Structure 1
Amino acid sequence: MPTVLAVLALLVALAALAVAVSGRRAPQGRTRDTDPGELPQDARALRQEVAALKAESSQALRHLAVVRYDAFTDTGGQLSWSLALLDDSGSGVVVTSIQGRAESRTYAKSVTDWTSDAQLSPEEEDAISHARG
């Protein structure tokens, strides 16, 4: 009995899928180069949503770079690093971790328009430069 119900549920799902796909076909004679004013209302809303997502994604931290280095001459392995996390306008943060033999320190500096009000180390400037591309 459970097998019969599973097969019946599968057939109902396939029928629903067929109905959904057939209802989404474009009308005959319509091309991709139609005037945007002729698009159905839901297509206009979709374009507005895409535009809003593009604007929102420009504020995402998409420009990333890590610079590894030896902060001190008596340490090796390039355990210190600077990480730039920036959006399309060059705003974000540079995080630096300096590893010494006995201790480590971590710093964060805000970045606006690809520069910072705080003094940047050469490695932090390199991280921003690499993130900018």
Structure 2
Amino acid sequence: MLSVVAVVLAALACVLGGLALRRTTPRAGGEGVDALPEDVHGLRQEVAALKAENRDALRHLSVVRYDAFGDVGGHLSWSLAVLDDAGHGVVLTSIHGRSEARTYAKSVAGWTCEQQLSPEEDEAIEHARP
């Protein structure tokens, strides 16, 4: 007897839930549908503004580690490319030797550099390209 009452109450809850859902779901020509395009248009404008703002962000990164000299191991030398969407940015290189380390910076514009790049720097730029 108790299980029959539980089944009837569950069925009643499902019916009432369905009716409540139908009342809150916007219909064609309803107020909810008219408000949606304006909200979507505003969101699209915000997304476009964020994309435009991020174009100049240095967000394409790549690191290439290597041995610059045959007598020094451990891949302690590295080249790091930090670029934006248009390929503008910088390549930083640190050459690690047995007694010293040297660091170089070369500017990059349009995925190319006016200065001669090492193969590792070229590789870092290519890996950073989306």
TM-score by length of 1: 0.68
Matches within 5 A, 1:36-115: 39-40=37-38, 43-115=40-112
Question: SS in structure 1 opposite 2:123?
Answer: helix
Number of aligned residue pairs: give it: 103
Question: SS in structure 2 opposite 1:108?
Answer: strand
**Offset of residue 123 of structure 1:** 0.7
Aligned CA-pair RMSD: 2.4
Aligned with 1:127 (options 118, 124, 128): 124
Amino acid of the structure 1 residue aligned with 2:116: Q
Which residue is equivalent to 2:27?
Answer: 29
Cα 1:30–1:67 change in 2 (3 A) is farther
Amino acid of the structure 1 residue aligned with 2:110: D
Query: Distance in 2 between the 1:107 and 1:58 partners?
Result: 26
Query: Distance in 2 between the 1:72 and 1:93 partners?
Result: 24
Query: Distance in 2 between the 1:77 and 1:131 partners?
Result: 23
Question: SS in structure 1 opposite 2:112?
Answer: coil
**Offset of residue 131 of structure 1:** 1.2
Which residue is equivalent to 2:4?
Answer: none
Amino acid of the structure 2 residue aligned with 1:39: P
Runs of 4+ in 1 over 4 A off after TM superposition: none
Identity %: 65
1:117 maps to 2:114: yes
**Offset of residue 129 of structure 1:** 1.1
Amino acid of the structure 2 residue aligned with 1:29: R
- Tell which structure's C-alpha radius of gyration is larger: 2
Which residue is equivalent to 1:12?
Answer: none
TM-score by length of 2: 0.69
Query: Distance in 2 between the 1:66 and 1:122 partners?
Result: 13
